[in-house]
């Protein structure tokens, strides 16, 4: 495909770019759709980095916007395009569909045997794609250093918190122990089941489990910058059930302490 083979039509209804194997459209009533067309067009025309290097190949496969977040959400369970979009509402649907096709083409995900409630195909990680888990969890721990006050557009999802709990779990600290927790992050509720160093994370409440709402103190407790007692003293932590549940939770989950990166102008 060369640029000369593309046809561009712009009128009162919007912009359409077509080629031998694609058609990308935006309409004038959606101010954000032009951005999705430009992003998708970059995907169509994207060349390789021209580097014979494993890192280069990895970035080409999942380094584009939304790629690693698609992997994150598929680590929890198989999902349709609509399922993924529900957890990633900021990505235009046509761009998400393109990411799915690109990642399937390189062998990271595949069509699952299951469908969603509407009967649409779901996708799952391949065995090769699942090897990204340890990398993704480590990447999330590294990125946690940049978590300060949430931005206005930031959201919390079940999948993001379920994966975060897996990233911060300390199997060695949980060896020989049994525990249940119901975690509340605003409107998001998940539960944790720990048995002898093994963690299972699920959606929704868990009958009989102590409820913990750590609020804005969670990161500071996990990095050990704030004690449980100090966190409770802020008045932003809510608990019910076992009064020692928060101590038990913090003893089995942690983040490495990393100073907030200092910005500079270059």
Q: Which residue, of 88, 115, 130, is where some domain finishes?
A: 130
**63 and 170 both lie in a single domain:** no
Q: Tell me whether residue 264 is in a domain.
A: no
How many structural domains does the chain have? Answer: 2
Q: Are residues 7 and 126 in the same domain?
A: yes
Looking at the structure, tell me whether residues 190 and 78 fall in a common domain. Answer: no
Cβ–Cβ contacts within 10 Å for residue 178, how many?
9
**How is residue 178 annotated by DSSP?**
E
Report the distance separating Cα 181 and Cα 192, nearest Å. 5
Q: Which domain holds residue 101?
A: 3-130
- Shared domain for 126 and 218, answered yes or no, is no
Domain CATH code at residue 229: 3.30.1050.10
Helix (H, G, I), strand (E, B) or coil at 111: strand
Does 16 share its domain with 115? yes
- Whether the CB-CB separation of 198 and 171 falls below 8 Å is answered with yes
- Determine the pLDDT at residue 143: 96
Q: Are 212 and 239 in contact (CB under 8 A)?
A: yes
Assess whether 30 and 110 both reside in one domain: yes
pTM: 0.81
Report how far Cα 86 is from the mean position of its chain's Cα atoms: 12
Domain-embedded: residue 265? no
Task: Specify the CATH number for the domain of residue 123.
Answer: 1.10.10.10
What's the pLDDT score for residue 48? 77
Which SS3 state, helix, strand or coil, does residue 121 take?
strand
Per-residue pLDDT at 3:
43
- Sign of the dihedral defined by the CA atoms of residues 131, 165, 158, 191, in that order: positive
- Which pLDDT belongs to residue 1? 36
Average pLDDT of each block of 10 consecutive residues along the chain (266 residues)?
A: 58 72 66 58 63 94 93 98 97 94 95 96 98 98 92 95 98 98 97 98 98 96 97 97 97 94 88
Rounded to 10 deg, the angle between the 93-105 and 67-76 helix axes is: 80
């Amino acid at each position: 495909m060369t640029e000369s083979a593309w046809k561009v039509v712009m009128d009162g209804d919007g912009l359409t770019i077509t080629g031998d194997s694609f058609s990308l459209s935006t309409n004038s009533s959606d101010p954000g759709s032009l951005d999705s067309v430009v992003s998708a067009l970059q995907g169509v025309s994207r060349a390789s980095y021209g580097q014979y290097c494993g890192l280069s190949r990895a970035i080409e496969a999942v380094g584009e916007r939304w790629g690693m977040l698609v992997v994150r959400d598929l680590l929890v369970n198989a999902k349709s395009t609509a399922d993924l979009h529900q957890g990633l509402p900021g990505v235009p649907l046509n761009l998400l569909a393109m990411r799915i096709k690109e990642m399937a083409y390189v062998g990271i995900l595949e069509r699952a045997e299951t469908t969603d409630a509407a009967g649409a195909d779901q996708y799952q990680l391949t065995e090769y794609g699942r090897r990204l888990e340890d990398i993704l969890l480590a990447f999330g721990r590294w990125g946690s250093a940049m978590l300060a006050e949430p931005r206005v557009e930031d959201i919390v999802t079940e999948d993001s918190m379920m994966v975060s709990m897996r990233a911060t779990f300390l199997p060695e600290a949980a060896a020989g122990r049994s525990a249940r927790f119901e975690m509340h992050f605003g409107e998001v509720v998940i539960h944790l089941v720990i048995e002898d160093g093994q963690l299972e994370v699920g959606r929704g409440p868990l009958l009989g489990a102590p409820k913990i709402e750590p609020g804005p103190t969670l990161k500071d407790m996990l990095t050990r910058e704030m004690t449980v007692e100090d966190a409770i003293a802020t008045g932003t932590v809510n608990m019910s059930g076992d009064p020692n549940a928060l101590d038990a939770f913090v003893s089995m989950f942690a983040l490495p302490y990393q100073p907030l990166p200092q910005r500079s102008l270059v």
